Amino acid sequence: MKNKQIKILMRLISLICIVAFIWMTIHHFDAQLLFDLMHKLVSQPWHTGYMVVMYSFAFVLRAMAWKWYLPQARFQTCIDGLFASLFINHIFPIKIGDVARVGICAKQNRIPFSIVAESVIVLRLLDLIVLFFFAFLGAIVYMHMIIRSAMISPLIFGGIVFLFFLLRRIDLSWLQKHKQHWNMIWKSHRFVLIVVAIVFSWICEAVVLFEMAKMVAFPLSFSEALWVNSMAVGGQVFQMTPGGLATYEAVMAFALTRIHSYWEQAYALALATHLFKFLFSYVVGLYVWWRIPTLWTFVRKEDVA
């Protein structure tokens, strides 16, 4: 399958999610429920603070994994790169945040762009593998409920088809250029630490959904929250809007309603958790912009040419 056809498939799946989001907004949006949830977040600062700490710690763990993979990089630079990537991905409709991530790390640490890019690609692949693992386990557990859904089944089928053709098209020749570095990481104890850090980073991120579910009395166990969060974040592969707006909400609400058919609460949870992540990305993004005034220059492709 050609790259153009892959892009068409990605856009088609994204459009399906956007249509599903519009349908949910028309049929299941409860303004009072969302307002009450927002009020609880403001009136319970200790609860909100706990979610902020756990979500922040998820990025600290990812920065640690990156530092272990790329020892010559400074930890602060790893944090800055991750926050800049998050910020930019929540502003632009396509995922170009990693361009800034590579640029910041390479220029601030004086490391060749190719080496930094290789580390980011490998870590992104590990992120996807971990998310797929969590999503796959959850799909097995809730398969009987997923099959009954006429609306989510096409999304799952489309995602599987997309991943199949994408994996067939991946060119790993770039990895051969850094084969010695990769082999050194793979055979060292650092690889185990990297994987453990990535796994726990996604566990920490799932805390946000788990805690918010308590606020709307949505019966959700932590393992279920982990599965739903993995599905929602994994669905961002089909991002066509800033921060994956609409795609995130559609996938999360559908996944939540496979557990319990409380559509209004599920939709409110999807909106609230995504709003939380949007606000977080803007705050840390402004922080990085203050630290690195030339942040936007790293978005330009010629900077990583």
Tens place of pLDDT for every residue, the chain, 305 residues?
A: 456 766 777 788 788 888 989 999 999 999 999 999 999 999 999 999 999 999 999 999 999 999 999 999 999 999 999 999 999 999 998 888 999 999 999 999 999 998 899 899 899 989 988 998 898 888 787 765 555 554 455 555 555 555 555 555 555 555 556 566 666 777 778 899 999 999 999 999 999 999 999 998 899 999 999 999 999 998 887 788 888 999 999 999 989 998 888 999 999 999 999 999 999 999 999 999 999 988 877 666 544 44
* Cβ–Cβ < 8 Å for 304, 113: yes
- Name the residue type at position 127: D
* Cβ–Cβ < 8 Å for 120, 96: no
Total Cβ atoms within 10 A of residue 34:
18
Handedness of CA 216, 219, 222, 224 (dihedral sign): negative
pLDDT at 283: 97
C-alpha distances (whole Å) from 233 to each of 49, 148, 171, 173, 255 are 22, 23, 24, 28, 12
pLDDT at 302: 44
Entry pTM: 0.88
pLDDT at 303: 46
* Cβ–Cβ < 8 Å for 107, 101: no
* Cβ–Cβ < 8 Å for 246, 18: yes
Query: How far, in whole angstroms, is CA 245 from its chain's centroid?
Result: 12
Residues 102, 109: Cα–Cα separation, whole Å: 11
pLDDT at 187: 72
* Cβ–Cβ < 8 Å for 54, 204: yes
Apex CA 149: angle with CA 144 and CA 155, to 5°? 110
